[in-house]
Amino acid sequence: MSFKSVKQWGKLFVLLQASAIIQLTIPKLTIAQNNPVDLQKTINFGFAEDAYPISATLEGLNKDTFCSELLNYLKTQEYIKENDYTFDLIKVPYKHRFIQQTIKYSNKNIQLDINCGSMSITNDRIRNLAGHYMGHFFSISYFKTPSKYIIIKQNYDTLSKQFKDILDNNEDIDIGEDNAIAVIDKTTQAEFLKKKLKNKFKYNNICFVESREKLYLLLEEGSAEAKDCQEEEKEADKIGITKKVNIVAYSSDDIILKGILSRFSKIREKYKYSSLKGEIQDLGLVIYEQRIPKESDEYYRNIDTRNIILARIVNDWINETGIKWINDKNKELDRQLVGYNIVDFIKNNIILFLIFILVIIGVVTIFKKKILELLRNLNNKVPSKFNPFHQIIINIVNTNTNENVNVNGNENEIDQKN
């Protein structure tokens, strides 16, 4: 027997041996009938911190959000009621958005079943969820949104042109060493800017913020200290903001920016919504498979089956209700912003607005005075001064008077004949 044949038989033996090991180690899919398992009755429903109108505000999971609508729907489903499942609401920090284990209390870790928020569906994330994180997966897309900017009003036109250059991959630009763009760390917008700006200007022109709660304070203040911005790793060096900088813009999902401007008047006073668009992203939820240590393997099987059913219910709701709900909400925010812009314009130009009102009142007063004067002159049939307009009105009045006289005269003649 040749060396090649021996090698081939050796490979076959190894494969058969590996197959036997796999068959021994993979648990059976059937559930033991004589050994019932006490299944977990709590569904851990995670929601992203302050991502209105998709998940929560700083106060918690509001009624008027996409995630609260989904949660209310889930509670009404027969599958949930029949199995006596209850929901535990878990606020998920941004840095834990794609990690199943998240901290609920300082001394307790829990595993999420569903994570609802403004999470962009990307190929890398799909691969990571399916592979590295043991079979977790996204829901279907419930909304498409571009990344956009709010830009400081003080230097809006110049900065808008520079940000357009970023999006168009034009020549190097300089927004000034004392200025920075804010983004939430570990988001698609942060990754997008890092790729776009690596040859444009230094990372110390980007302020990577840990949370939106922190971000709102920086936007209201209009500036950030070095301690407010996260450091980033680049070529084994720590880099980031090294001194106080002006926050001249913030980049996020379009619908999230609208939600911010609709709620925070101080931010609206400083920043203007820009029409510049970045990459369009599909947003989705994450459904997790459970891996909770228990003696009985059947526990895993039941939990996994439950969450697959949950995913089906979630996707059905997205198709039937969720997509329409979030699109209607987006249009509502558009209308609100138009109204806020009108109010803000009046506030910012109150003196001009008052002058405009006074001019209108003055014109109406003068016109009213002229009309009254004209009517008095017509009644007296003595126009104070010849005016073609007056003469036209007098002719109309005289014509009507003559017609009345003729009508009355004819009526008198008829009476006399009778």
User: pLDDT tens digits for 88-139?
Assistant: 988 887 777 777 665 554 456 777 889 998 889 888 887 777 765 556 788 9
Please say if the pLDDT value at position 15 is more than 50. no
Q: What is the phi/psi pair of residue 248, to 5°?
A: -95, -10
Lowest mean pLDDT among 124-138, 177-191, 254-268, 319-333: 124-138
- DSSP string for 227-271: GGSB-EEETTEEE---S-EEEEEEEEEHHHHHHHHHH-HHHHHHE
240 belongs to a structural domain: yes
250 belongs to a structural domain: yes
Q: What is the mean pLDDT of residues 387-400?
A: 59
- Structure confidence at residue 238 (pLDDT): 55
222 belongs to a structural domain: yes
Please say if the pLDDT value at position 70 is more than 90. yes
Beta carbons of 209 and 49 less than 8 angstroms apart: no
Rounded to two decimals, the pTM is 0.69
- Structure confidence at residue 210 (pLDDT): 84
Q: What is the CATH number of the domain that holds 270?
A: 3.40.190.10
- Structure confidence at residue 334 (pLDDT): 93
What domain range is 203 assigned to? 145-281
- Structure confidence at residue 111 (pLDDT): 79
- Structure confidence at residue 363 (pLDDT): 85
Answer with the residue of higher pLDDT: 71 or 20: 71
- Structure confidence at residue 403 (pLDDT): 52
- Structure confidence at residue 301 (pLDDT): 57
303, two tokens: 């939990």
C-alpha to C-alpha distance for 206 and 181, rounded to whole angstroms: 5
- Structure confidence at residue 278 (pLDDT): 79
266 belongs to a structural domain: yes
- Structure confidence at residue 163 (pLDDT): 77
- Structure confidence at residue 295 (pLDDT): 56
Beta carbons of 221 and 248 less than 8 angstroms apart: no
- Say how many domains are in the chain: 1
Q: What is the mean pLDDT of residues 53-78?
A: 88
Angle, in degrees to the nearest 10, between helices 254-263 and 323-348: 50
Per-residue b or e along 167-182, where b marks 16 or more CB atoms closer than 10 Å to that residue's CB: eeeeeeeebeeebbbb
Q: Residue 251's beta-bridge partner residues?
A: 149
168 belongs to a structural domain: yes
178 belongs to a structural domain: yes
384 belongs to a structural domain: no
- Structure confidence at residue 20 (pLDDT): 35
Q: What is the mean pLDDT of residues 157-164?
A: 82
Per mean pLDDT, which of 62-76, 198-212, 279-293 is the most reliable?
Answer: 62-76
314 belongs to a structural domain: no
- Structure confidence at residue 31 (pLDDT): 30
Answer with the residue of higher pLDDT: 313 or 130: 313
Please say if the pLDDT value at position 18 is more than 60. no
